[in-house]
Amino acid sequence: MSTFASSSERVRGPASHTDRIPRESLDRCRNCGGTRLFRDEATADLVCQDCGLVNREGEAVVQEPLGHSDDASRYGPGTHGRATTVLLPDKGLRTRIGPLTRNSVPSPLSHRRKMEFARLRLVDRRQGRGDSGERNLETALPQLKRLTEALGLPRTVEETAVRLYRESLARRGMRGLRIASLVAACVYVACRVHGIPRTLRVVASQSEAPRSVIATVSIHLIRDLRVKVRPVNPMDLLPKLAEDLEFPRELRSRIREYLERLDKGGYQSSGVMPATLLGTVAYVAAQEGGWRYSQDRIAKALGVTSVSLRNRVPSVVSFLRIPPPGSRPGSRSPSGGPPSNSPEGGAPGLPEPVAAQG
């Protein structure tokens, strides 16, 4: 049995009828006023040694949480470490030796002690790497985090990409591939799962893997892991295109209207890239409204060829039942200015016909 006679230590317990007693009387016996109180380890009762009165029954001692001295400031009070997450190779389950500069007194450590702890941290880090799969994750996860940050993706997409990478690594179906290729493919598939518009060209531009390899690996990932991905909607790519080419508000509304008409009317777009369909509609809408945007400029912004847009124009125009591009005599500037064939538009105007004499 341990004696509780210190006035600086307060005994706290669950709410009961004894909580009505004033706080200053908790360190003294309610019967004789003595301070020689002890806690029975078997029954958890607070008993007076002088008169034997049980001042509290089932007394529970609330202790401070154990753990590293930096845990409260780093992870919040009452915790013993960081939460588990799939973004770490060991999921945050392994305990690691942190940097120490002071002891428990606290007083500064000597240089010899600091070197000893540095050596212990190095050995602990090397022994905690685990198998080859975890060593692979130590290399892949930093690359994946860098790629998601470069693309401006949220944390949910990053977690989905990490889960896809872990599953593909566990199945051993992608052995022999470069880590950069598999990481880029997982990020692209994760974007497709969450419906975030990121094309292969954009992902490949921020990755070390070529676009063709990322496309091939993505197909294998979707097929082997049976991932349910959302089809890419050309409407999702419109904000990025409009921002890059500075489309006027009227042109954006017209492109959105034409895309909705194609979708509701059942336009056969199977086998057509969403970026190609969007570029075709954007070019047709710009020409029909009189804005000057060439096929080459739109195709370059979307990462497709101008030939693809040119081949798709006749079918889109006939389905929408609008005049073909170039049939309107005048064209406006991208900012909505006057027609280009007028002297005010900056381009030379057409000569006026001369009346026949006689």
User: What pLDDT is stored for residue 12 in this prediction?
Assistant: 42
Exposed e or buried b per residue across 109-140, where buried means at least 16 C-beta atoms within 10 angstroms of its C-beta: eeeeeeeeeeeeeeeeeeeeeeeeeeeebeeb
Domain annotation covers residue 180: yes
Residue 186 reports pLDDT greater than 90 = yes
3-class SS at 278? helix
The pLDDT tens digits of the residues spanning 9-42 come to: 334 444 443 343 333 345 788 888 888 887 776 6
| pLDDT at position 28 | 81
Which of 128, 146, 179 terminates a domain? The answer is 128
Query: Last residue of some domain: 128, 148, 170?
Result: 128
Distance CA 129, CA 175 (A): 20
136 pLDDT higher than 80: yes
Same domain, 48 and 7: yes
Q: What is the CA radius of gyration of the chain?
A: 36
335 inside domain: no
In a domain, 68, yes or no: no
How far, in Å, CA of 137 to CA of 161, rounded?
Answer: 12
| pLDDT for res 296 | 93
Q: Are residues 136 and 212 in the same domain?
A: yes
- 358 domain-assigned: no
Q: Do 198 and 281 belong to one domain?
A: no
22 domain residue, yes or no: yes
The number of CA neighbours under 13 Å toward the Cβ of 268 is 2
The parent domain of residue 52 ranges over: 1-63
Domain of 53, CATH number, reads: 2.20.25
pLDDT digits (tens, 9 = 90+) for 267-313: 887 778 888 999 999 999 998 888 889 999 999 988 888 899 999 99
**Is residue 42 a contact partner of residue 58, using CB atoms and an 8 Å limit?**
no
168/149 same-domain check: yes
Number of CB atoms found within 10 A of residue 19's CB: 11
From 132-136, 155-159, 281-285, the region with the lowest mean pLDDT: 132-136
* One domain, residues 212 and 277: no
Question: Into how many domains does the chain fold?
Answer: 4
Contact between 26 and 18 (Cβ < 8 Å): no
- For 53, counting Cβ atoms within 10 Å of its Cβ (0-12 exposed, 13-18 middle, 19+ buried), the class is middle
353 in any annotated domain: no
Indicate if 198 and 241 belong to the same structural domain.
Answer: no
Residue 82 lies in a domain: no
Verdict on whether the full-model pTM lies above 0.85:
no
pLDDT of residue 333: 42
Residue 48 has pLDDT above 70, yes or no: yes
Looking at the domain assignment, is residue 116 inside a domain?
Answer: yes
Interior/surface letters 294-316, b for 16+ CB within 10 angstroms, e for the rest: ebebbbebbbbebebbeebbeeb
Q: Looking at the predicted structure, is the pLDDT value of residue 350 above 60?
A: no
Read off the CATH number of the domain in which 150 is found.
Answer: 1.10.472.10
- Per residue in 319-333, is it b (16+ CB within 10 Å) or e — as a string? ebebeebeeeeebbb
Domain boundary among 71, 104, 128: 128
| One domain for residues 272 and 292 | yes
What is the rounded average pLDDT of the residues 63-90? 55
Q: 198 with 168, same domain?
A: yes
